[in-house]
């Protein structure tokens, strides 16, 4: 008699309406249950049966209930699905296709079918791009996805690259050049500097050579530096199809093993690249460096033709300066260039040590790969004196461009860094007092005060303090108008020295040319700035993801199973510690349970980056510890380790 009773239905609806609701993000667990995170401090338990309607990452509204004196939630309404467009592996059973999303906490087998535009035949183990079209919390009986594109066959050796690029929506091929793209279009007069002894210093296998330099020592001890930069905007018209492609890509994407150029290789590695003994159009800048290392106001920008006299490698030049190895400069004139450049570099380092901020030398790691993408080894590389020579020359050129743009236009693409905001400045001051370092917030929010703080910290050379201070700093950014760069220690900074590889530098080239020829300059928009920043973020994430994938494959080798490694702690979270292997740069995770077995006795303090056991500080960020690899998970690209006591 109660079946389909409208009064009973209304009563149930009213009772349900009175149940409290919460909104949050679903966090799943490998054991089938999950949590609804309402904020950083509060979460609610989701039982396994309730997890069947939702996925990790979904934003939902849920009913808050009490079962057996425990608060739980029951998913009620989907606000936003975590999965939309995604990549995954195909599973084929009884002629039915499933796709398993390639996300650490998303292992749902989703039934799927190729859409009408996807003609690829999918097999078990293939990789594909899919789109979620049905969700259980929307009233659908199943999760369902459409397959849009095959990424790779299951036995493709370059799966880490193709899958990662597809996930981050990054092009995997170079742009295709049309005949008109390879024609020099500018008719501006250019100075003929082909007789000068310009040289380039790069990695031995570099093909896209952006910059060449020439130095001359004046009788009064000053050094005249001429920086010549490749000129792709002489080929690429503003607003053209290729210009739009360059903006979309924004950068040459440097990945382990190879790069994906921003411009067609015919331009980036041939017509524009400053190869030795080839006449090339350039945008150049002539700068006087005074005897104390400061930059003179006598700065000139102009267009020119140059012919590099030699392509030198970082290692050869460093060996010769350091009097090691057998390499010698090919001619006396090139030898003279290297000697003057070395003196210029030391002058600028000394000046920046007093007046700006110096970089700390850090190890860099590079994968040595076979032709089929297998990791042979991981090479450790250090910044040597020749790297610093080129770095100082480019810094001088970029400071000069920033000033030139500011004086003549008041806009461009500037690299800015604001240091600390007012709240974080107070936190920094409070933190430093623990180490008897006395600063005030007003002081370190000025460029001069920030630089002074950094110089003091460089002298102190305490990696833990350096790390905590960096946590308080703002992020670097691009700006259309001039602004300071606290981390470099300069009032303004605008890069123009890598136009083959960076679209922002192409923009600044066009602005510099407009000033030189007294033409109208078009101010770049905030939209362009946003696009460049977004693409930079994607490229960085892709490089990190591919590296993590390659490290898991590399360290899976038998010879590393029982090997002990030294590692530097890089982060502390509430679940454990992250560290970087010093030998090869791999990132590892040490769960809290493998740091100390009794959970009640360990305190993982994320705020201070320290680990306390029984209220005694045992580990902190920057500590060097010895570890052994415990579990290498290829499916999630995670490396789990334990501390070796």
What is the DSSP secondary-structure string of 328-357?
A: --SSHHHHHHHHHHHHHHHHHHHHHHHHS-
- pLDDT (0 to 100) of residue 265: 96
| Pairing mode of beta strands 223-230, 279-289 | antiparallel
CB burial of 391-421 (b: ≥16 within 10 Å; e: otherwise) equals ebbbbbbbbbbbbbbbebbebbbbbbbbbbe
Please tell me which residue in 102, 181, 197, 211 is annotated as part of the active site: 211
- pLDDT (0 to 100) of residue 14: 58
Which tokens is 604 given? 């993982």
| Helix or strand run (H / E) with residue 24 | strand 21-28
- Give the alpha-carbon dihedral of 20, 24, 29, 32, to 10 degrees: 40
Which tokens is 610 given? 């320290």
| Pairing mode of beta strands 211-217, 223-230 | antiparallel
Please tell me which residue in 102, 197, 202, 545 is annotated as part of the active site: 202
Please tell me which residue in 208, 231, 319, 505 is annotated as part of the active site: 208
Is residue 591 a contact partner of residue 526, using CB atoms and an 8 Å limit? no
Active site residue 314: yes
- CA end-to-end span of the chain: 72
| Rg for the chain, CA atoms, rounded | 29
- pLDDT (0 to 100) of residue 70: 86
Active site residue 124: no
- Label each residue of 555-619 as H, E or C: HCCHHHCCCEEEEEEEEEECCEEEEEECCCCCEEEEEHHHHCCCHHHEEEECCCCEEEECCEEEE
Active site residue 503: no
Residues constituting the chain: 645
Active site residue 181: no
Is residue 292 a contact partner of residue 349, using CB atoms and an 8 Å limit? no
pTM, whole model, 2 decimals? 0.92
Tell me the average confidence (pLDDT) per consecutive run of 10 residues in the chain, 645 residues long.
58 65 91 88 90 94 87 93 95 90 88 81 92 93 93 94 96 93 93 98 95 95 97 96 97 94 97 97 98 94 98 97 95 97 97 91 92 93 96 98 97 97 95 95 96 94 94 95 97 98 98 97 96 96 96 93 93 95 97 92 94 96 96 92 89
- DSSP character string of 433-464: HTTT----HHHHTSHHHHHHHHHHHHHHT-HH
- pLDDT (0 to 100) of residue 447: 97
Phi/psi zone of residue 638: left (φ > 0), alpha (ψ -120 to 50 degrees), beta?
beta
In the chain, % helix, strand, coil (3-state, to 5) comes to 30, 30, 35
Strand partners, 128: 88, 150
E strand residue ranges, 135-278: 144-152, 191-192, 199-202, 211-217, 223-230, 253-255, 258-260
DSSP state of 360: P
Active site residue 171: no
- pLDDT (0 to 100) of residue 166: 96
Domains and CATH numbers, the chain: 6-80 (2.40.50.140), 85-156 (2.40.50.640), 181-280+287-416+489-544 (no CATH), 557-643 (2.40.50.140)
- pLDDT (0 to 100) of residue 395: 97
Active site residue 210: yes
Please tell me which residue in 197, 210, 231, 243 is annotated as part of the active site: 210
| Helix or strand run (H / E) with residue 510 | helix 503-516
Please tell me which residue in 348, 352, 468, 501 is annotated as part of the active site: 501
| Cβ partners under 8 Å of residue 172, min gap 6 | 161, 162, 165, 166, 260
CB burial of 527-562 (b: ≥16 within 10 Å; e: otherwise) equals ebbeebeebeebbeebbebbbbbbbbebbeeeebee
Strand partners, 627: 565, 643
């Amino acid at each position: 008699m109660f079946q389909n009773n409208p009064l009973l239905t209304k009563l149930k609806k009213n009772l349900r309406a009175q149940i409290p609701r919460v909104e949050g993000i679903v966090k799943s667990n490998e054991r089938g249950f999950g949590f609804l995170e309402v904020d950083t401090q509060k979460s609610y338990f989701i039982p396994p049966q309730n997890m069947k309607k939702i996925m990790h990452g979904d934003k939902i509204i849920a009913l808050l209930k009490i079962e057996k004196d425990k608060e739980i939630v029951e998913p009620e309404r989907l606000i936003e699905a975590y999965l939309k467009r995604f990549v995954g592996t195909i599973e084929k059973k009884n002629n039915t296709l499933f796709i398993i999303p390639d996300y650490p906490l998303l292992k749902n087998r989703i039934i799927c079918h190729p859409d009408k535009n996807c003609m690829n035949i999918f097999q078990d183990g293939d990789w594909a791009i899919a789109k979620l079209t049905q969700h259980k919390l929307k009233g659908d009986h199943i999760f369902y996805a459409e397959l849009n594109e095959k990424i790779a066959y299951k036995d493709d050796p370059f799966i880490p690259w193709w899958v990662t690029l597809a996930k981050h929506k990054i092009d995997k091929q170079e742009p295709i050049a049309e005949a008109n793209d390879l024609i020099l279009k500018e008719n501006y007069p250019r100075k003929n500097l082909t007789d000068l002894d310009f040289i380039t210093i790069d990695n031995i296998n570099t093909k896209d050579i952006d910059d060449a330099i020439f130095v001359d020592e004046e009788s009064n001890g000053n050094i005249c530096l001429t920086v010549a930069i490749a000129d792709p905007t002489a080929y690429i018209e503003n607003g053209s199809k290729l210009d739009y492609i360059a903006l979309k890509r924004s950068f040459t994407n440097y990945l382990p093993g190879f790069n994906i150029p921003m411009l067609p290789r015919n331009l980036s590695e041939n017509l524009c690249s400053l190869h030795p003994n080839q006449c090339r159009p350039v945008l150049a800048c002539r700068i006087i460096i005074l005897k104390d290392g400061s930059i003179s106001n006598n700065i000139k920008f102009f267009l020119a033709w140059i012919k590099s006299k030699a392509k030198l490698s970082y290692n050869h030049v460093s060996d010769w300066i350091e009097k090691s190895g057998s390499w010698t400069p090919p001619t006396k004139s090139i030898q003279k260039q290297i000697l003057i450049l070395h003196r210029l570099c030391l002058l600028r380092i000394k000046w920046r040590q007093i007046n700006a901020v110096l970089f700390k030398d850090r190890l860099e790691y590079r994968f040595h790969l076979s032709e089929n993408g297998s990791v042979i080894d991981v090479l450790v590389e250090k910044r040597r004196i020749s790297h610093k020579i080129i770095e100082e020359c480019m810094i001088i050129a970029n400071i000069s461009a920033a000033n030139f743009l500011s004086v003549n236009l008041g806009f461009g693409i500037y690299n800015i860094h604001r240091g600390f905001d007012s709240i974080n400045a107070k936190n920094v001051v409070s933190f430093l007092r623990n180490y008897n370092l006395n600063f005030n917030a007003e002081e370190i929010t000025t460029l001069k005060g920030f630089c002074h703080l950094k110089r003091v910290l460089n002298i102190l050379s305490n990696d833990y303090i350096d790390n905590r201070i960096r946590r308080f700093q703002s992020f670097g950014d691009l700006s259309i108008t001039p602004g300071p760069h606290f981390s470099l220690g300069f009032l303004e900074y605008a890069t123009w020295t890598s136009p083959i590889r960076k679209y922002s530098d192409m923009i600044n080239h066009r602005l510099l040319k407009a000033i030189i020829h007294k033409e109208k300059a078009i101010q770049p928009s905030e939209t362009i700035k946003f696009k460049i920043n977004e693409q930079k973020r994607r490229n960085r994430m892709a490089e990190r993801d591919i590296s993590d994938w390659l490290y898991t494959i590399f360290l899976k080798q038998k010879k590393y199973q029982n090997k002990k490694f030294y590692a530097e702690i890089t982060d502390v979270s509430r679940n454990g510690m992250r560290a970087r292997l010093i030998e090869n740069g791999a990132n590892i995770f040490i769960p809290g349970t493998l740091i100390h077995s009794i959970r009640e006795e360990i305190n993982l303090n994320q705020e201070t980056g320290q680990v306390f056991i029984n209220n005694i500080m045992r580990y902190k960020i920057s500590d060097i510890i010895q570890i052994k690899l415990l579990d290498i998970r290829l499916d999630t690209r995670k490396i789990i380790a334990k501390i070796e006591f």
